[in-house]
Amino acid sequence: MFEVIYIEKQLLDHPRVLAILAKYPNSEVKKIEKIEDVFGRVKKPYLQKRTNLNLFLGEKKGQLVKLAPPAYGLSGEPHYYFVHAYNCIYECNYCYLQGYFHSPDIVLYLNHEEIALEISRVASLFHSQKPSQKIWFHAGEYSDSLALTSLSGELSHYFKLFKELPNCNLELRTKSINIKELLKEAPLENIITSFSLSPAHRIKLNDLKTPPLKSRLEAIKQLHLSGFPIGIHFDPIIYDDQFIESYEELADQLIEALPAESICYISLGVVRFTKEVFQKVQKHYPDSDILAQEFIRSFDNKIRYNRPMRLWMLGKIKQQLIDRGVPEERIYLCMEDSADDPMVKSHD
């Protein structure tokens, strides 16, 4: 899987590193001073990940926990994210990671204890001013939160930490079905695993190299039955001629795997790109049917479907979910801006 594993020199004897190397005995190992000396120093083409994917192991330096932009996630609560990895083993053809780091190689930061300490410090500072308010932390801003947990081994640190932080929520956002590490932990109500879902045919067309819908739903069911709280993202929603029927079917399949009343929240977002990412999609996937639709530059300069169309799409899916018993207050619409609709929350 990994052609070369680059390791920061101080980690060469780290038990986690040794465990990773044991899993990839055929990968070439290169010792480096620090990740930034090699990673992103030259522009490595994104699609080269198909034939030549490398792994970097190091320690995250600088700001370990960052405040998310003002309107991120569920409204009204502060959101922070922490970075324990860069890039993803999957290849979703709409993904903002294409070209983001100038290299598709995977970076795993292994100083989980330091990151956990920083989360704790940020939470304590915040609660000293607003003791009763919930705070959200997000893993996976630049990576899938579960896909490589068997390698990166951070989950036990975060479960231990968040057990002591009942006023903080942690969201693990994923398309993976790698729930093995998660199932080793006792569920906590403030650690929410959130799955991104799309209709089965769209997963085949867009979420390249990801588990199919059926497997994701099975993982959701298994976690739910084991007591883990689950969030859902229908994001990105892509229009095609089967749009209404395929989301009806997806909603039915979801409710079968996870009862409507058990969904912690469900977010809906219509496909959108920055100009740069849109150009990357055109370059990397010129034959994708995503590009068949008309896009416009919208209110925030992002490339989207026109406003009536995207609001119509969000409205249709929201109604489908309400019809199936999902409480309306648990549905939120992301990356939209319509001050007249109280259900429309910004998420950027």
Interface mask toward another protein for 191-230; x: CB under 8 A: ----------------------------------------
C-alpha to C-alpha distance for 336 and 348, rounded to whole angstroms: 9
The residue (of 41 and 61) whose beta carbon lies closer to another protein is 41
Least Cβ distance, residue 345 to another protein (angstroms): 16
Interface mask toward another protein for 156-185; x: CB under 8 A: ------------------------------
Least Cβ distance, residue 63 to another protein (angstroms): 24
Near another protein by CB under 8 A, which window of 61-69, 114-122, 187-195, 289-297? Answer: 289-297
Contact 60, 85 (CB under 8 A): no
Kindly identify the residues of this chain, within the stretch 28-57, that bind another protein according to CB under 8 A.
30, 32, 37-38, 41-45, 48, 51-52
C-alpha to C-alpha distance for 91 and 147, rounded to whole angstroms: 13
Helix (H) or strand (E) holding 298: none
By CB under 8 A, tell whether 292 contacts another protein: yes
Least Cβ distance, residue 37 to another protein (angstroms): 8
Question: Residue 57 in 3-state DSSP?
Answer: strand
User: Which letter does DSSP use for residue 17 in this model?
Assistant: H
CA angle 242–243–247, rounded 5-degree value: 110
By CB under 8 A, tell whether 311 contacts another protein: yes
By CB under 8 A, tell whether 306 contacts another protein: yes
Own/partner contacts of 64-72, CB < 8 Å, gap of 24 or more, are 64/114, 64/115, 64/118, 65/115, 65/118, 65/119, 65/122, 65/137, 68/138, 69/348, 70/346, 71/345, 71/346, 71/347, 71/348, 72/347, 72/348
The site for another protein (CB under 8 A) is made up of 6, 30, 32, 37-38, 41-45, 48, 51-52, 102, 239, 241, 286-289, 291-294, 296-299, 306-315, 338, 340-341
